Amino acid sequence: MYTEKVMDHFSNPRNVGELKDADGVGEVGNAKCGDIMKIFLKVENGIIEDVKFQTFGCGAAIATSSMVTEMVKGKTLEDALRISNEAVAEALDGLPPVKMHCSNLAADAVHAAIKDYIAKHPA
């Protein structure tokens, strides 16, 4: 039911873990199925220098988390904010329809972490 890309990111997730000195942290949860996704950002000069994730959820939740970290690493905050949930799912060659909400989490978690960074670092 999952694509090869999903299974690749699920079995070898990139950027798993925690950044102790994160500049921004975002946590989102899905009320329906109970999963939780947490993103840690290290930001320098408006660029995401490092990113890590922790996820409590299904295969799709873990794969989208992993994928989104790859997609935003090295990007400016503006560009990262433009990455949509659909783009993450697309980058994984799609998700089963019932799992589409999982991909919503990944981009949302990044956006939440960026907002946290902005709140902590007013220009």
The binder of another protein chosen from 36, 47, 81, 87 (CB under 8 A): 36
Distance in angstroms (rounded) separating the CA atoms of residues 10 and 22: 24
Helix axes of 59-72 and 4-11: crossing angle, nearest 10 degrees: 80
Our finding on whether 27 is near another protein (CB under 8 A) is: yes
The binder of ligand FES chosen from 2, 24, 35, 39 (CB under 6 A): 35
Our finding on whether 18 is near another protein (CB under 8 A) is: yes
What's the Cα-to-Cα distance from 94 to each of 18, 56, 69, 91, rounded to whole Å? 27, 20, 17, 7
Under rule CB under 8 A, which residues in 64-123 are in contact with another protein? Answer: 98, 101
Catalytic annotation, residues: 33, 102
